[in-house]
Each structure stands twice: as C-alpha cells, then as structure tokens.
Amino acid sequence: MTNKITCYLVGMILLIMAACEQPAATNELDSKVSNLLSEMTLEEKIGQMNLYNGFWSITGPPPAEGDAANKYQHLEEGSVGAMLNIHGVENVRKIQEIAVNNSRLGIPVLFGYDVIHGYKTLSPIPLAEAASWDMDAIEGSARIAAIEAAAAGINWTFAPMMDISRDARWGRVMEGGGEDPFLGSRIAAARVKGFQGNDLSATNTIIACAKHFAGYGFAEAGRDYNTVDIGTVTLYNEVLPPFKVAVDNGVRTVMNSFNILNGIPANGDRFLQRDILKQAWSFGGFVVSDWSSGREMINHGYARDLRHVAELAANAGSDMDMESYAYINHLKALVDSGQVDMSVIDDAVKRILKVKFELGLFDDPYKYCDPERERELVYHDAHQEAVLDMARKSIVLLKNENNLLPLQKGSQKIAVIGALADDNNSPLGSWRISSDDSTAVSVLKGLEPYKDQISYAKGADLITGPATFLQKVPINESDKSGFNEAIRLARRSDIVVMVLGEHGFQSGEGRSRTKLDLPGVQQELLEAVFEVNQNIVLVLMNGRPLAIPWAAEHIPAILETWHLGSQSGNAIAQVLFGDHNPGGKLPMSFPRSVGQVPISYNRYNTGRPDALDLVFWSTYTDESIEPLFPFGYGLSYTSFDYSDLSVEVTGENQVSVEVTVTNKGKVAGEEVTQLYIRDVVASVVRPIKELKGFQKYSLDPGQSRNVVFQLTEAELGFYDGAGNYHVEPGEFEIMVGTSSKEGLNGNFTL
C-alpha cells in the first residue's frame, strides 16, 4: 500500500475517533425537534413524510400519470422530506437550494440512494461479502461506500438488506447475507456500523436503512414480490434477529416491505411497525415505505384507494411514503376528518426531523456538497485496494481434486474459455445504479501478468444484446458457433480455466429464476471442452447459489467467485495463481436441483427423518435431501485438522467450548471455525443445527490454535410463537468444525 493511501486511511480513522468522543446531547436534540415542529403547519409536517423519486433514473415502476407532476412546486412549498435517485454534488446542491431557500422554514431534504455495494468503486455483491465471514472487512467495505456516497451528496443509503432467504430462485439473495440469522445478524451490525460510523454529523457517514421489514426473503416459490406465509416461530427466530441487531446498533431508518405477512401488507402492519419495532425494540429512527408499497396495498386487496392507503399506513407506523403519493394527497383530509390523529403525524415528523438534526443538515444543508471532496474521494485509489482485499476474501474454493489449483506460474499452458472471462461489466454485479458500466477488471485483464502462458477463446456468448438494470437479460440459448475454436484451444492446453455463470443482471430485484443451472449454452460448452481436456478449473460467477451437480461430479476444481465488483479480475487471478489462499465459506447452501429449494442447513428433523428401505420417510425418491455444497463450506489450499473438543458448563446458562485447530498443509491459510448447537428437546421444536458462533483467523503451516467460544443465554435460547425468549434446561448437542456438515461432536446439559 502506498504512503498516500496509508495516510488517507489513518486520517479517516482519526476523524472518526475524534468525532466519537462527543456524545450526542439527546435532550437538546429533542427540544430542537419540538421547537421546529411547533412552528410547522400541518401541510409542512405532511410534506416531511413524503419521499420523491428524482428526475431521471427510476428503481421501480413509474408513477401513475400526473402523480409526480408537482415535484418542484412541492419542494418550494416545503412538502418534500426526502428525495431518492439524485446523486452528484451539483445535482444534490440544486435540489437542496430549492428546499432551503424557497420554502418557508427552509428544512433541508434527505438524499437517499441504493448504495448497496459501493457508490462508484464497487465491492463484491453483499452475498459474496457474506462468504468472507469477515466482519471487519464487511464493515470496512460499507465504510468506503459511505465515504464515496457522502462525497457525492448522498446522506442516506437504502442498505443493508438483511432479509434471510433459503431460496436461490429469489434474485435478491445477491443483496443479503444468506440463509442464516446468526451470520446475518453479525453482518447487519457490521454494515450498519460501516455506513453510519460513530458520528452522523461527520461528512463521511450516511444513515443506513435496515430492509425489508419483514419477511420479504420468504417470498413463495422464490418469485419476487410474492406472498409470504410463515409462522411466528420463523418470524421471531429467523427473520427478525438481524433487524433487532440493526436497531440495537443504532440504525436510523427501517424500510418496510412489499409482501403480506399473515394477510397484512407490511406497509400497513401495525404489529410489525408499532408493536415490535417502535415499542418492543424502542426504535428511535423512522420507517420508510418501499417504492410504491403504499399504492400496492390496493393491488393486495387491503386498501380501497390511495386515501385508504394513507390512513392504514400512517396509523400502522409507516412514517415516510416512497413514490405512492398517498400521504401528500390524502393525509391532511384524514387528519381533518379525525381518521388519522395529529399525534401520529407529529410522531412521524419528529422522527424524521431528528435524523436530519443528527446528520447536521440544519447546521449546514450543503455539508455533503463539496465538489473538491467529490473529486478527491470518488474512485480513490485506497478504495480500490480495499475492495480488492474484500473481493479476495469473498472467493470460495468448492473443489480442488489433486491440487489442480493453484495454477503454476510460468510452466503451464493455460486456456481461458468463456465469455465472462472477457467481460468488464457483468462482474460489477447487480444493484450498482450509481456506478459506471464496464469498469470492472475482467478476468483476462487480471491475468495479464501471466499473458505468456494464456490463450483465450470465448466459446459462446452469454448474452445476445445489452444487459441493463431495468430489463430482462437476453441470454444466448442457441449460438454455439464458437465451440470449435474453444475445443481446439482446450485440446492443445495443459489446463483450462472456464469462466462461466450468470450475468450480473440476472440476479437482483425482479430477477427471479426457475432454473439454477448455468444459463444458455454454457453447460454444453463445459461438457464439450471436458471431452477433450479434463483438467478444468471452473470459475463460477453468479449472484445466487447454483445447482451444478454435473460440474460438481466431473470438474476437478471449482472456484466460486460471485460478482466481485471493480477489482474482480485481479482478485480471481491472485487466487488462481496462489498469491492469495482462498478462505471464504458459503453463506447459503448450494442445492443439487431446483426441486430441493428452499433448502438450508438449519432445517427441522421432521417426524420421519431416517431414510430406510421403505418410502415412508421425509426424503425424495429421485434425489438426496442433502445440498450439493452445504452452508459454511469452503476449502483452502491448505487443510485444517480439528482435535481436542472440550465442552464445559461453567455456570447458569454458561458453556465454555474449546477446540484445537492445526494447519496441516504447506501454506498459510485462513479458517472459519463454526459452532453449531441443537437443543434436543424443547417446548418449541428446534432445528437440527443452529450456528451460534464463528471465528476467523489465519494459521501458518504447522501452527495450531486453541479456539474458544463462550455460549451464554443469548446463544442458548429461542423465541416461542408469541415472541417470548426461553433458555430451557436439558440436553444440547454441539458441533464445532469447518462447515455446517463437518466437525467434532459433543454435548452438554443445562
């Protein structure tokens, strides 16, 4: 790392530490909010509850004719609380000037944006980052996103998404932390801390948004926006924990979701928004609706019209309306008629104003609008270094027969095949609306230091036309004209690196799939090349778990590289050639077939778990119930040996667990030791395994480490269907090891 970059990073840390020494004066803040509120008319208050899309890009269905016509006028009247999809210092300043200079009270607006995995410099997609199991790195990645976004005028990101999901068909799994609530909660905390830092009034922090509250990841059949039908045990134990952790870590906003839960659209759900979030969890920030999730309550069959939407949503605790135009047009009449109480409006507006004060917008509405800072920080070199590190850490080695990897420098003739190898756009992944197209380092570019060893043939196109954020990706389903050239190249090479997978825009919002295979003609290409050369390293790029049973059986080496963002090709090249030893672990199970989905390691045993000769067991007749690659799984260029598990109950609901891990190989490597428990008999049936601890560390060859876990009430209990937390006496099984499948077993009794 250069000195300039080191100084920059140290500077950032000092800035945050200094800011941290000044505790927020809550009472003073509350009285500022109340004073301002007392000056506001009802129309101005309702205006604060109104979030408008900007003037160009959209991230949802366009509004109905005429709805968005009066935006400028509303800004001038102080009837806009926040805007989304406006970015860049110049644009933000223009809008802020209208709000501040022209409206009666000059209340600044918030600028929200989907900064999901970076603003311009892109880190890996969130699912990939989750595979790092490295909380410091994930926090650091969100920090960089915040620094760049804040420098470009943005003060609010609609991230992190913390929807737990077990359904790889759902395109939005790319945006989350995977299938497990424990890992997901740790990631939620890291991301919130990364975005918000310790001081919101600093110029390099932005407010985060925990989304989507709640249950959105359980959309039936993996179809986006579809119905959710889960019980309260799943809600309390699987869905809500990351949100609770986000709230405990001070997240300032929560976004509700599109789906219904127990027949009620989340935007109109009082139980979720008022009873749980605001009352039980004492959430002090504000709730924002999702894009038109208000209006969609009409489609759901829950609201008659937009006026009804406004009544239901405001009373249920949804504080800000994104792109439904329900509050701006109907709340006043509802207050006048007594259907919405003034206290509901006051509570929502106080929450919104408080966040604006916390951000320091009343002191300086243009604090994020410094063009020089924008020029200096966006695409900063230090950010490239950091996202490269994050990308390396996100790669998972799925298979490595006969140590085919790492590749040998200088000696091997290597064929690189697959359109994705030469693609500098797709690896940026989905959800990167602020960034610039085609700015990723492609695999071929990353392999340039080894160009004397490498020859390339595309084999087949993945797409037949441009792939964009708003449209379905056109996949090449038939053109195999490049196969022969690829086969010829493979025949004369020692080893073949095949870069295959999904286009970056095949996952993300509105991009559910019914198939989880390699799209288009890629599977055929893989098999055709395999016919002539079996020394294949398959480099997978995808935004979700794939079902690739043929490859898992036949291809000797498989590297899961997801969509790794700006530095993709460099990270992949460094792992391929052994400059970095991969240490990622899957945050989601990879199924054998679509028919197994939804699938997760923390399933229930059922009453008929044993697969005996008869058919009367909870299995499939044509497929195993085990995943292809389990949650927590990932290999290394070295191997780790587990020994000497000791488990001791040290006090009331206190268990100490110790295990020795030794690096048995010839290179240093990183391991993630995972601890799983099973509460054998409980008043609410518990899953066969639940992750309750993990530690990531590095070991030199031959080095051993004692890994110690302390289990407490927080890890040993569960929620019943009414949301009460219990730790029950009795027998527990424990497994400590290298994945959810493999480890040393023990037990203890509470």
Which residues have a catalytic role annotated?
Answer: 290
Helix (H, G, I), strand (E, B) or coil at 698: strand
- Could you give the maximum distance between any two Cα atoms of the chain, in Å? 81
Helix (H, G, I), strand (E, B) or coil at 189: helix
Degrees (nearest 5) of the Cα angle 158, 162, 165?
130
291 near ligand NOJ (CB under 6 A): yes
With CB under 6 A as the contact rule, the residue among 44, 67, 114, 502 that binds ligand NOJ is 114
Shortest distance, position 631 Cβ to ligand NOJ, whole Å = 24
Task: Tokens for 171, please give them.
Answer: 């395109």
Complex with ligand NOJ: residue 60 or 549, whichever CB lies closer: 60
Gap between the Cα atoms of 196 and 202, Å rounded:
9
Shortest distance, position 84 Cβ to ligand NOJ, whole Å = 6
Q: What is the DSSP letter of 615?
A: S
290 near ligand NOJ (CB under 6 A): yes
Complex with ligand NOJ: residue 84 or 588, whichever CB lies closer: 84
Residues found in the chain: 750
- With CA atoms as reference, report the closest residue to 201 among 10, 351, 355, 27: 355
Gap between the Cα atoms of 389 and 402, Å rounded:
27
Contact 344, 332 (CB under 8 A): no
Gap between the Cα atoms of 115 and 126, Å rounded:
11
Complex with ligand NOJ: residue 225 or 748, whichever CB lies closer: 225
Gap between the Cα atoms of 64 and 536, Å rounded:
52
- With CA atoms as reference, report the closest residue to 173 among 739, 563, 601: 563
Beta strands in 451-492, from DSSP E residues, in sequence order: 454-457
The site map against ligand NOJ for 439-478 (x = CB under 6 A) is ----------------------------------------
Q: Percentages helix, strand, coil for the chain, rounded to the nearest 5?
A: 35, 20, 45
Shortest distance, position 147 Cβ to ligand NOJ, whole Å = 20
Gap between the Cα atoms of 602 and 589, Å rounded:
10
Complex with ligand NOJ: residue 59 or 324, whichever CB lies closer: 59
The H-or-E segment that residue 526 falls in is: helix 522-532
Question: What is 623-646 written as a DSSP string?
Answer: S-SS-SB-TT--B-SS-EEEEEEE
Complex with ligand NOJ: residue 254 or 734, whichever CB lies closer: 254
Helix (H, G, I), strand (E, B) or coil at 557: strand
Degrees (nearest 5) of the Cα angle 721, 727, 729?
120
Residues 337-376 close enough to bind ligand NOJ by CB under 6 A: none
The site map against ligand NOJ for 496-535 (x = CB under 6 A) is -------------x--------------------------
Please, what's the b/e burial string for 274-308 (b: 16 or more CB within 10 A of its CB; e: otherwise)? bebbbeebebbbbbbbbbbbbbbbbebebbeebbb
Residues 146-165 close enough to bind ligand NOJ by CB under 6 A: 158
Shortest distance, position 259 Cβ to ligand NOJ, whole Å = 11
Contact 270, 317 (CB under 8 A): yes
475-484 CB contacts, 8 Å cutoff, 24+ apart: 475/503, 475/506, 475/519, 475/520, 476/520, 476/521, 477/520, 477/521, 478/521, 479/521, 480/521, 480/524, 480/525, 482/457, 482/458, 483/459, 483/524, 483/525, 483/528
Complex with ligand NOJ: residue 114 or 134, whichever CB lies closer: 114
Shortest distance, position 214 Cβ to ligand NOJ, whole Å = 13
With CB under 6 A as the contact rule, the residue among 9, 55, 60, 682 that binds ligand NOJ is 60
Degrees (nearest 5) of the Cα angle 192, 198, 202?
110
- The size of the interface with ligand NOJ (CB under 6 A), counted in residues, is 9
423 near ligand NOJ (CB under 6 A): no
59 near ligand NOJ (CB under 6 A): yes
Gap between the Cα atoms of 671 and 6, Å rounded:
27
Complex with ligand NOJ: residue 257 or 561, whichever CB lies closer: 257
Complex with ligand NOJ: residue 112 or 545, whichever CB lies closer: 112
180 near ligand NOJ (CB under 6 A): no
Residues 75-104 close enough to bind ligand NOJ by CB under 6 A: 84
Complex with ligand NOJ: residue 290 or 321, whichever CB lies closer: 290
Complex with ligand NOJ: residue 280 or 470, whichever CB lies closer: 470
Residues 193-222 close enough to bind ligand NOJ by CB under 6 A: 211
Residues lying near ligand NOJ in the complex (CB under 6 A) are found at: 59-60, 84, 114, 158, 211, 290-291, 509
